Structure 1
């Protein structure tokens, strides 16, 4: 029988992320094995999740722009949508942390990450040239457009698919 590999911060964060994606309840699971070993507290874990989201988002944007699209703005919005769909549970956690932060340090980290995301989106879309306040405002507008697109996509999705997703969520909540 092969020995199990020793857990690392990265593998524990991966497990936490997978749990978040499964639960999709907007909360950070602190009941995952070895979380206490590799993360000092909920703030440390929130910081790691925020960095993971930012890294995923910027990678998706870079991939979208590598195809040299005619409409960079639309490509950045689409990249945000794809990242948010793939990481829906993590996005729920981040949105909850931004709305109801458990500490001022988490609130500050959520704001900082959002501002970096927005500036990166604006620069990537070709609508800003620096990571400054105007870029942050433009990027925020891009994120709002992406969220609106996702809501519209959800609204036009067939009712059977919406009911299936709702059934899965109800099943997870009652387990």
Structure 2
């Protein structure tokens, strides 16, 4: 992959994420210009979105644990909720394709990604090691706890007229404001 195609792919991924955040329907925005050419198939696009989710979640968990080093589970739960609020479109896509994969290959990939995420949650909450056979089940319990208190901000009805970075920042501020108002 050349530097230009790498940069284009990154820009297309940002557009995919913005579109997913606006739609929140759980469907891959395959209809966008350049998506098919950059990602090849739905599984590759889903993998890129899953990777974005996972890295953002891991980073958020680290920050939460630095701020509250003795509140392991609470920090992990809050980090999951904050990441889901920040990336609602990706969360919707991941949840949709976890429940309704397009084929067996996607089902296997989603099962593996789900297990890895749940193991991360359990390990970072201090309740399992990465090699514990029950770590994914512990992580599933933590994920359920995070989902139980997760409030998804409503999709804005009117366009802001802003684009790019400003739209992202405004969208995040509106999501935070809506979360605290609920």
TM-score (norm 2): 0.78
Comparing 101-110 with 135-144, greater Cα deviation is found at 101-110
Superposed CA deviations along residues 90-125 of structure 1, whole A, max 9, x for unmatched, are 111111101111111111111111111111111111
Are residue 85 (structure 1) and residue 85 (structure 2) matched? yes
- For residues 83 and 11 of structure 1, do their structure 2 counterparts lie closer, same or farther at Cα, with a shift above 3 Å needed? same
CA distance in 1 between counterparts of 2:111 and 2:134 reads 16
Quote the residue 1:65 is aligned against.
65
Q: Counterpart in 1 of 2:127?
A: 127
CA distance in 2 between partners of 1:55 and 1:45 (Å): 16
Query: How many pairs does the alignment contain?
Result: 155
Structure 1 unpaired stretches of 5+: 155-161
8 Å CA contact 1:120, 1:131 repeated in 2:
no
Partner Cα distance (1:54, 1:144) in 2: 17
1:49/1:131 Cα in 2 relative to 1: closer, same or farther (>3 Å)? Answer: farther
TM-score, reference length from structure 1: 0.81
Residues 29-40 of structure 1 correspond to what in structure 2 (within 5 A)? Answer: 29-40=29-40
Structure whose CA Rg is larger: 1
> How far did residue 52 of structure 1 move?
1.1
- Contact 1:28 1:93 (8 Å CA) reproduced: yes
Match of 1:25 in 2: 25
1:1-12 correspondence runs (5 A): 8-12=8-12
- Listed as ranges, the gaps of 5+ residues in structure 2 are 160-182
* Paired residue secondary structure (1:133): coil
CA contact (8 A) 1:119 1:136 kept: yes
2:101–2:107: 8 Å Cα contact kept in structure 1? yes
